[in-house]
């Protein structure tokens, strides 16, 4: 142990000595009269700093170990809403709630705002947004009309390209399971063209028949395929074949009761159309999570108040 201590002390003094020599060599020309004091200063600093560093580290450790920590208790039963309101981040809306269609109909709305709205909807199109985009086709501004048309055209081309690709895969499928999987995709793609109203009346009926043909093929071998029962129910509901639509949706529920939250609104629509309001209310009230569905919450709340 003494030898180890001597070794470290020798090392510290050596480093301090060479540090002082280095300082003298660098500063002797600039401070020739104070070179002795410069050497002494850097030698003392070189020796003292390791010792001071160790002592300071020990002091920090002891301070952290024995310093009492003040614990603050928070009364969670009371919240100062005024402070919360002042500290809550403010988020500015770009278009407002439900303002897209109103802006498209407004002849005096800025063109750049309409273009930004169309760009915001371009990558996530649903039926409601597609209706807004279609309204842009009658806008007085050429840029707005062309942008709206390009979005719809791009969507239609994408679906048709997918149909052609899956049609080739369907014809080239080497085994039954692969053919069934491809048929499911084709059935949904045909329905997408109808659902998004991208075709005229004559082609619409043809596409629904094509979709039903693919659905029948799938269910022939996989009768328990719930998405295909739901899709056939949607097609029958679109055609106002309520009895067939109800049978398909009911079959989907029988195969998987956990789908109630998704299927119940379709069944409720059928019974509402038939005038059976009591069953409509029972269907909507049986699944409480429908309250949290943005498209359905207002409808469900209305029926719950009846």
Q: Which residue has the higher pLDDT, 96 or 213?
A: 213
Angle 262-264-265 (CA atoms, 0-180°, nearest 5)? 85
Could you give the percent of the chain with pLDDT greater than 70? 73
Q: Which of 152-161, 249-258, 281-290 has the lowest mean pLDDT?
A: 281-290
Q: Which residue has the higher pLDDT, 123 or 176?
A: 176
Angle 166-236-229 (CA atoms, 0-180°, nearest 5)? 60
pLDDT tens sequence across 269-298: 898 888 888 888 887 777 666 666 666 666
Largest CA distance in the chain: 110
Q: Which of 19-33, 72-86, 148-162, 289-303 has the lowest mean pLDDT?
A: 72-86
pLDDT of res. 278: 86
pLDDT of res. 1: 47
Secondary structure, 3-state, 11-69: HHHHHHHHHHHHHHHHHCCCCHHHHHHHHHHHHHHHHHHHHHHHHHHHHHHHHHHHCCC
Question: Is pLDDT above 70 for 76?
Answer: no
Would you give the distance in Å from CA 178 to the centre of its chain?
A: 31
Cβ 185 vs Cβ 166: under 8 Å: yes
Q: Under 8 Å CB-to-CB from 236, ≥6 apart: which residues? A: 242, 244, 245, 248
Q: Domains in the chain, please, with CATH?
A: 2-66 (no CATH), 96-189 (no CATH), 223-306 (1.25.40.10)
pTM over 0.85: no
């Amino acid at each position: 142990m003494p030898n180890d201590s001597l070794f470290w002390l020798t090392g510290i003094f050596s480093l301090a000595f060479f540090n002082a020599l280095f300082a003298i060599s660098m500063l002797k020309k600039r401070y020739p009269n104070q070179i002795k004091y410069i050497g002494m200063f850097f030698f003392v600093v070189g020796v003292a700093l390791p010792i001071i560093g160790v002592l300071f580290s020990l002091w920090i450790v002891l301070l952290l170990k024995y310093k009492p920590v003040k614990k603050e208790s928070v009364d969670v039963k009371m919240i100062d809403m005024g402070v919360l309101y002042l500290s809550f981040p403010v988020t500015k809306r770009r278009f407002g709630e439900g303002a897209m269609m109103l802006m498209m109909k407004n002849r005096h709305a800025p063109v750049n705002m309409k273009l930004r709205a169309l760009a915001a909807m371009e990558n996530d199109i649903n039926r409601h947004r597609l209706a807004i985009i279609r309204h842009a086709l009658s806008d007085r501004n050429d840029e707005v009309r062309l942008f709206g048309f390009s979005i719809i055209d791009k969507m239609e081309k994408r679906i048709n390209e997918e149909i052609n690709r899956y049609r080739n895969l369907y014809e080239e499928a080497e085994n039954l399971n692969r053919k069934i999987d491809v048929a499911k995709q084709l059935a949904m793609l045909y329905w997408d063209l109808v659902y998004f109203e991208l075709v005229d009346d004559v082609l619409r009926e043809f596409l629904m028949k094509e979709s039903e043909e693919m659905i029948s093929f799938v269910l022939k071998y996989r009768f328990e395929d719930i998405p295909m029962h739901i899709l056939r129910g949607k097609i029958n509901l679109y055609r106002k074949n309520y009895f067939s639509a109800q049978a398909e949706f009911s079959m989907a529920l029988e195969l998987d009761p956990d789908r109630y939250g998704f299927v119940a609104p379709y069944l409720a629509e059928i019974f509402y159309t038939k005038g059976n309001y009591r069953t409509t209310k029972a269907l909507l009230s049986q699944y409480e999570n429908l309250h949290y569905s943005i498209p359905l919450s207002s409808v469900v709340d209305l029926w719950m108040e009846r």
